[in-house]
Structure 1
Amino acid sequence: MEIQPGRGVAAARIGETRETVENRLGPPMHPGKVSRAVYDIGRLLVISYTGDDLVELVELPHDAGRGDEAFLDGVQLTWRLLDDVVADLAAKGYRYEQDESSSFLFEAGFVLFSAGSRTPRDLGLDAVENASRSVCEGVSVGPYEYFAAEPTEEQVAAWEREFEAAVAAMDADESMRKFRGLLE
């Protein structure tokens, strides 16, 4: 799935209403009026909504190499070694700053990140040779200003709770449990 920096993806664009997105995609996997919704569109798509139900952030977790990874300008973003992805994008002129040791903010309006839950071995790479390298586990797409603003402690705590809830929801999904069992 191709990302559109600062704008989202074809399935959901920044500024669209929840109603527009859900008319296009159907209801989220776990319906309810929450600020973050997870959609199964043949791959997972996570959308954060404002209090006014407008899309403010679009996130694509990796697809574990099943065939629907995130791309930009011919570069596969997810399910690759993070430093290789960053180098490929830099070679194409995309400017970035390292946000944290496993997060890179690109001025075009997206962030590549590793949650540290995947290793080079998951990609079929030699674990010893690549032991210290991170896997790009996802991409968040939104306006640069969204990422550059310093969040409050309350926002960080809320995001952590939402992320943990989304992971728990994915783990509770039987097909995801079976898939993870195949990977282990």
Structure 2
Amino acid sequence: MEILPGAGVALVKVGDQRAEVEGRIGGPVHGPSGKNVYDTAPMLIVHYDPDDRVELVEIAYSGHGGEEVFFDGVQLTYRFMDEVVSELAAKGHTGTSSDIGFTFHAGFSVWSMGSLWALDLDPDADEEDERSIVEGVSVAPYSYWDEG
């Protein structure tokens, strides 16, 4: 699935009404609330504002041969964080680090909650390997993260 930085993905865009989203992809498997999980491949987690408009689109990793998330020819999910950030930087994409990942000025963030470990991707890694794996991507205008 390709992201549209600052805007979302083809199925769900920032600013869409909940009814529009659910008309395209069906109701949530978890929700309804401000944060809804939809049974898509890969799985979408959509955050709505109080007016039922999309404010943030998150895409989860699939892993093990499932569909992953891409931007500008770079696979974002289910890869080592440092490799993803390095490849995007080589293509001119800048941003800032956070406690769980990296937020790009183009309008997306890659992150890890620590539920995967290096052995999931690298069979030669040892149990002490602390490389983080991108577990998800969040898409919204950069100002979503920069308001502070």
TM-score (norm 1): 0.77
Higher RCO (CA 8 Å, separation ≥ 6 residues): 2
**Count of paired positions:** 148
Q: What letter matches 1:120 in structure 2? A: A
Tell me the residue number matched to 1:132.
130
Residues 13 and 75 of structure 1: CA distance in aligned 2, closer, same or farther (over 3 Å)? same
Tell me the residue number matched to 1:12.
12
Deviation at 1:123? 1.4
Deviation at 1:118? 0.3
Q: What letter matches 1:132 in structure 2? A: E
Deviation at 1:121? 0.7
- CA offsets per residue over residues 16-53 of structure 1, 9 Å max, x none? 00000000000011343x10100001331000000000
| 1:36 maps to 2:38 | no
- Compare the two structures and name the one with the higher helix fraction: 1
Tell me the residue number matched to 2:146.
148
* Aligned equivalent of 2:107, options 84, 106, 109: 109
TM-score (norm 2): 0.94
Task: Kindly report which structure 2 residues correspond to 1:1-184, keeping only aligned pairs within 5 A, or say none.
Answer: 1-32=1-32, 34-100=33-99, 102-128=100-126, 131-150=129-148
Give the gaps of 5 or more residues in structure 2. none
Cα distance in structure 2, aligned partners of 1:129 and 1:86: 23
Q: Secondary structure at the match of 2:98?
A: strand
Cα distance in structure 2, aligned partners of 1:69 and 1:50: 26
Seq. identity, %: 47
What root-mean-square deviation, in Å, do the aligned CA atoms of Structure 1 and Structure 2 show? 1.5
Cα distance in structure 2, aligned partners of 1:30 and 1:132: 31
Contact 2:37–2:44 under 8 Å retained in 1: yes
Q: What letter matches 1:104 in structure 2? A: F
Q: Secondary structure at the match of 1:14?
A: coil
Contact 2:119–2:127 under 8 Å retained in 1: no
